[in-house]
């Protein structure tokens, strides 16, 4: 098992071929392997022994050259929200691609901020977002956003598509009757954003699409050590989303 702050990540981790959560006999040789499919571009993967950092895999250690083929396996993250503070906006949105395949859909919906039962009585429902329709090339969803109350609290809503599509194919969004679109080749170089109307109106943002080498990592590390120990992995994405694995425990069976 592993814990996430938000974005979904598929994280596999073993110590001497024992999966996370295992309790295994102590050995002098400890070989750690991992495979990671993250929710966005990865910043680092850390190996910790008894809570202490012993190895960090950074983006500079991973292969930087991606397959130059026309078909790109990536993630398309559309985020909606912003606008004037304390004003809600109802979105009817469709996110899709003109060519290729949608492999998976990840809703990145937030619930309303409720910190006490008293506050819960003041709202009709905390579930204001839902996927309405999905087909091979697009996903339609409805959500409600409110302008961020301060500079550190994000109240935006979003959805992320895992896709395999040609570089020159178009990523599009129909947002309450307004269509915005960009070729994937543009999103691979940077994010794109805009507003529905004037400066304080709700806004949209296509996050930069990561290349496969940025969001799919694997690695191995080995050390010789004595005594009992526990090992676990910690992952940080460049958007500050995190993941932690359950430990693998090495225990002396004679104790």
pLDDT in tens, 157-207: 999 999 999 999 999 999 999 999 999 999 999 999 999 999 889 999 999
CB 158 within 8 A of CB 239: no
Q: Mind listing the pLDDT tens digit for each residue in 225-243? A: 999 999 999 999 999 999 9
Return the pLDDT at 4: 95
Return the pLDDT at 122: 55
Could you tell me if 16 and 78 lie in one domain? no
Q: Mind listing the pLDDT tens digit for each residue in 100-155? A: 999 999 999 988 766 555 655 555 555 689 999 999 999 999 999 999 888 888 99
Average pLDDT along the chain: 92
Could you tell me if 200 and 94 lie in one domain? yes
How far apart CA 5 and CA 252 sit, in angstroms, is 34
Could you tell me if 28 and 106 lie in one domain? no
Return the pLDDT at 151: 85
Could you tell me if 119 and 19 lie in one domain? no
Could you tell me if 30 and 116 lie in one domain? no
Could you tell me if 115 and 226 lie in one domain? no
Could you tell me if 82 and 157 lie in one domain? yes
CB half-sphere exposure, 73, CA atoms < 13 A: 12
Q: Provide the residue range defining the domain that includes 244.
A: 2-62+214-251
Q: Mind listing the pLDDT tens digit for each residue in 153-166? A: 899 999 999 999 99
pTM comes to 0.90
* CATH code assigned at 27: 2.60.40.10
Could you tell me if 146 and 168 lie in one domain? yes
Could you tell me if 77 and 152 lie in one domain? yes
In our burial notation (b when 16+ CB lie closer than 10 A, e otherwise), range 120-146 reads eeeeeeeebbeeeeeeebbbbbebbbb
Identify the weakest region by mean pLDDT among 28-42, 111-125, 209-223.
111-125
Could you tell me if 57 and 171 lie in one domain? no
How far apart CA 129 and CA 107 sit, in angstroms, is 9
Could you tell me if 76 and 174 lie in one domain? yes
CB atoms within 10 A of CB 113: 12
């Amino acid at each position: 098992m592993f814990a996430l702050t938000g974005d979904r990540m598929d994280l596999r981790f073993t110590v001497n071929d024992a999966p996370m959560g295992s309790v295994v006999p102590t050995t002098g040789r400890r070989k750690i392997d991992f495979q990671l499919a993250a929710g966005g571009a990865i910043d680092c993967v850390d190996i910790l022994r008894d809570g202490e950092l012993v190895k960090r895999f950074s983006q500079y250690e991973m292969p930087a050259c991606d397959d130059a083929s026309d078909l790109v396996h990536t993630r398309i993250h559309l985020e909606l929200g912003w606008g004037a503070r304390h004003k809600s906006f109802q979105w009817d949105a469709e996110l899709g691609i003109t060519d290729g395949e949608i492999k998976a859909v990840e809703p990145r919906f937030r619930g309303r901020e409720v910190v006490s039962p008293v506050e819960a009585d003041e709202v009709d429902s905390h579930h204001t977002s839902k996927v309405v329709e999905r087909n091979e090339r697009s996903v339609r969803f409805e959500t409600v956003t409110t302008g961020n109350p301060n500079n550190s609290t994000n109240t935006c809503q979003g959805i992320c598509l895992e896709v395999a599509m040609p570089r020159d194919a178009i990523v599009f969004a129909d947002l309450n009757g307004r269509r915005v679109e960009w070729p994937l080749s543009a999103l691979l170089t940077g994010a794109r954003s805009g507003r529905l109307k004037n400066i304080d109106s709700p806004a949209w943002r296509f996050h930069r699409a990561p290349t496969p080498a940025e969001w799919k990592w694997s690695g191995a590390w080995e050390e010789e050590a004595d005594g009992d120990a526990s090992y676990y992995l910690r992952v940080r994405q460049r958007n500050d989303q995190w993941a932690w694995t359950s430990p693998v425990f090495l225990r002396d069976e004679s104790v």
